[in-house]
């Protein structure tokens, strides 16, 4: 979860403290095609085998992707974090 480092007080979350996904020179550049337009969950499933990791694209590319669903338009290019990087960060 992107909120894994955010404190929980009773039933409430504190101010968001998102996981930081570092840049890696080996990260691939990906250009969205029609298959993945508005579907970061499908891309996460195809890359990482887990559709719940859709949020990593926005955290890795904060200057490109502000809205992880509606900014995922055909033609946009961004960096894909490696699966090994995510495994190291998220366990």
- How far apart CA 74 and CA 84 sit, in angstroms, is 26
pLDDT classification of 12: cutoffs 50, 70, 90: confident
What is the structure's pLDDT at 4? 67
> Tens of pLDDT along 13-66?
777 667 788 899 999 999 999 999 999 999 999 999 999 999 999 999 999 999
* 58-33-48 Cα angle (round to 5): 50
- How far apart CA 38 and CA 30 sit, in angstroms, is 14
What is the structure's pLDDT at 86? 87
Does 91 have pLDDT greater than 90? no
pTM, full prediction: 0.82
Q: Per mean pLDDT, which of 19-28, 63-72, 82-91 is the most reliable?
A: 63-72
In sequence order, what are the residues at sequence separation of 6 or more whose Cβ sits closer than 8 angstroms to the Cβ of residue 81?
Answer: 21, 24, 27, 56, 60
Smallest Cα–Cα separation from 81: which of 9, 3, 27, 26?
Answer: 27
């Amino acid at each position: 979860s992107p909120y894994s480092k955010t404190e929980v007080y009773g039933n409430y979350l504190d101010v968001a403290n998102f996981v930081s996904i570092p840049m890696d020179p080996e990260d691939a550049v990906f250009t969205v095609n029609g298959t993945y337009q508005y579907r970061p969950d499908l891309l996460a499933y195809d890359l990482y085998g887990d559709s719940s990791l859709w949020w990593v694209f926005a955290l890795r590319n904060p200057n490109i992707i502000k809205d992880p669903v509606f900014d995922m338009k055909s033609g946009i290019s961004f960096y894909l974090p490696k699966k090994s990087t995510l495994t190291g960060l998220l366990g």
